[in-house]
Structure 1
Amino acid sequence: MYETLLIPTDGSEESRAAIDHGIALAERLEATVHALSIVPEGPHGAMKRDELRAEPQEEAREANRLVESAAEDGGVDVTSEVREGVPQEAILEYAGEIGADMIVLGTVGRTGLDHVLLGSVAEEIVRNSSVPVVTVQPAE
């Protein structure tokens, strides 16, 4: 029933709980995981100051490596992809492309003005996804 799980990640501390839950689900369901990182584009794609030190594509690849490492530790097959675009749109588009059966993502990533301007990526995905979405609160 659930053979393909999509775990979008931004590499934030908050996303790690979602990665752990997604990999645990994949282990139990014997599912394949697709890790996805989005490099935001457009005027609201500005990164926080502390993120300006690294190239956005490299940061996205590093975020995916967190999923890859967890999948490897759990014996789960994983594929990684980096895309550019509006995060919620790119995530839903990619989910359709790969035939995802479920999306597992964290509920918090962006903060401050970025969150106010962009709204909640998780909320948009929950509202617009055609497949089940598991949202995971960050670990405390």
Structure 2
Amino acid sequence: MYSDILLATGGEAASDRATDHAIELAAHHDATLHVLFVVDSDVYDAYSGDEYVDEREGPEHGLEEVGEEAVETVAERAREAGVDVEPTIRHGRPPETIVDVARAVGADLVVMGTRRRPDEYRSLLGSVTDRVLRLAEMPVTVIKTPVE
């Protein structure tokens, strides 16, 4: 049923259950798991960069390090489960980039995690998951992280 599954991860707790689910699905369907971390260009574009002596010290490099660690952690777990895995880091706006990468790899399914946020937060800022659900033409499975 699935040959290519895209897991969009932010490396946070909300992604843990989604990671488990995506790895299990990929193993069950003998699918390739594409693991994506998006370095949010809106975050680093918001900084002038005046405080950095060297452009390699900018916030995008810290975000890249977080992303590299996140995708490699998932990739190790997938390999241990016998799943073919393709880790990827992209720069851009997360919702659009996730959908673009899903299209590019021919994903049959996108898996994402989410956690409960206050209604005020969602009404002001929305969520990456909500936007991906609106943009994607392929199925998207959302794995909720329980409120603790």
> Structure 1-normalised TM-score?
0.84
Counterpart residue type for residue 88 of structure 2 = E
> Structure 1 residues 65, 24: closer, same or farther in 2, change over 3 A?
same
Cα offset, 1:55, TM superposition: 1.4
Residue-by-residue CA offset, 1:79-138 (whole Å, 9 max, x unaligned): 011011110000000001110000011013999x98665411111111221111110012
Counterpart residue type for residue 42 of structure 2 = G
> Structure 1 residues 116, 37: closer, same or farther in 2, change over 3 A?
farther
Cα offset, 1:58, TM superposition: 0.9
Number of residues of Structure 1 aligned to a counterpart in Structure 2: 134
1:125 aligns with 2:145: no
Instruction: Select the structure of larger CA radius of gyration.
Output: 2
Conserved 8 A contact 2:39-2:91: yes
Match of 2:114 in 1: 107
Counterpart residue type for residue 28 of structure 2 = R
Kindly report the root-mean-square deviation, in angstroms, between the aligned alpha carbons of the 2 structures: 2.7
Counterpart residue type for residue 97 of structure 2 = A
> Structure 1 residues 115, 61: closer, same or farther in 2, change over 3 A?
farther
Cα offset, 1:66, TM superposition: 2.1
Counterpart residue type for residue 104 of structure 1 = V
> Structure 2-normalised TM-score?
0.80
Percent of aligned pairs with the same amino acid: 37
Match of 1:12 in 2: 12
> Structure 1 residues 124, 77: closer, same or farther in 2, change over 3 A?
same
> Structure 1 residues 44, 138: closer, same or farther in 2, change over 3 A?
farther
